[in-house]
Amino acid sequence: MVAWSDQERSIITSIFSNLDYNDVGPKALIRCLIVYPWTQRYFASFGNLYNADAIKTNPNIQAHGTKVLHGLDRAVKNMDDIKTTYAELSVLHSEKLHVDPDNFKLLADCLTIVIAAKMGSGFTPEIQATFQKFLAVVVSALGKQYH
Amino acid sequence: MTEFLSGKDKTVVKSFWDKVAPKAAEMGGEALGRMLTAYPQTKTYFSHWSDLSPESAQVKKHGATIMSAIGDAVAKIDDMPSAMSKLSELHAFKLRVDPANFRILAHNIVLVLALYFPADFTPEVHVSIDKFLQNLAMALSEKYR
């Protein structure tokens, strides 16, 4: 079980309560698909991803980016047991979606970068450390049910 | 084994770095400070410093040194292995930094680039910069074994 200080909890809830999910989610996913193009392999059914502009304007990607961020919400609300909260999602990503768990880290890094760009200097080194700790727990939980 | 930097990658990197250059020293200090804070295992390489906080003068100075070397690599982007030769020897025989840490520092540099240039550091710029930094890391670890 992961230990969270009161300060860490408040940092995470504060970041998420100030986020526009419809903006940040898609931006993070788009960035991931452009910077790490092999991740596009999981979105073959989403339509045109042939170039950066196609990715940026693809409505399925937009919707999915928002969905991913709402998924993170559940971890924010259950910080003391992210592993159990995500057990089903982990099974889904492994058995149905067949996502290489390494990719979770790539998307997590892109999300961190998008949030840093949004928050500017308000995204202090300490806040960055806490946010990355949170995402590391999420990434680990998502990979837990793979076998 | 380096990634191929296309002509477009090189143009993008050089042109973006022109924007970065005036603030490079400050940004380097910030990237290093963030790395030491968010990835505490990296502090093991700096046990000889008295202050490893982001505000530390030692951290800021060293971050500036790193960014200056990166700027040199940008200028010599057409022949990075030979441009990095001395630094490669330093990292191989003296510093012996585990190459996994180059990726960690690169992430923090990229984060600071996004923070300072939220509009200019587009995904397209990001991918070219990421490739460049990976190539740089490869050049630095070239002489390790």
CATH number at residue A72: 1.10.490.10
pLDDT digits (tens, 9 = 90+) for A11-63: 999 999 999 999 999 999 999 999 999 999 999 999 999 999 999 999 999 99
Q: How many residue contacts between A and B have a Cβ separation below 8 Å?
A: 48
What is the full per-residue pLDDT of chain B (145 aa) written as tens digits? 467 899 999 999 999 999 999 999 999 999 999 999 999 999 999 999 999 999 999 999 999 999 999 999 999 999 998 999 999 999 989 999 999 999 999 999 999 999 999 999 999 999 999 999 999 999 999 888 8
* Residue with the two structure tokens 């998008």: A114
pLDDT at B4: 87
Q: Is residue A115 part of a domain?
A: yes
Range of the domain at A22: 6-143
Q: Is residue A85 part of a domain?
A: yes
Contacts of A112 in chain B (CB under 8 A): 111
Q: Give the total number of structural domains in chain A.
A: 1
Give the confidence band of A9 by pLDDT, cuts at 50, 70, 90. very high
The answer to whether the CB atoms of A34 and B124 lie below 8 A apart is yes
Report the chain A residue with the minimal C-alpha distance to residue B38.
Answer: A129
Q: Give me the CATH code for the B7-141 domain, please.
A: 1.10.490.10
pLDDT digits (tens, 9 = 90+) for A28-42: 999 999 999 999 999
The answer to whether the CB atoms of B37 and A109 lie below 8 A apart is no
Q: Is residue A1 part of a domain?
A: no
CA-based R_g, chain A, Å:
15
The answer to whether the CB atoms of A129 and B38 lie below 8 A apart is yes
ipTM comes to 0.89
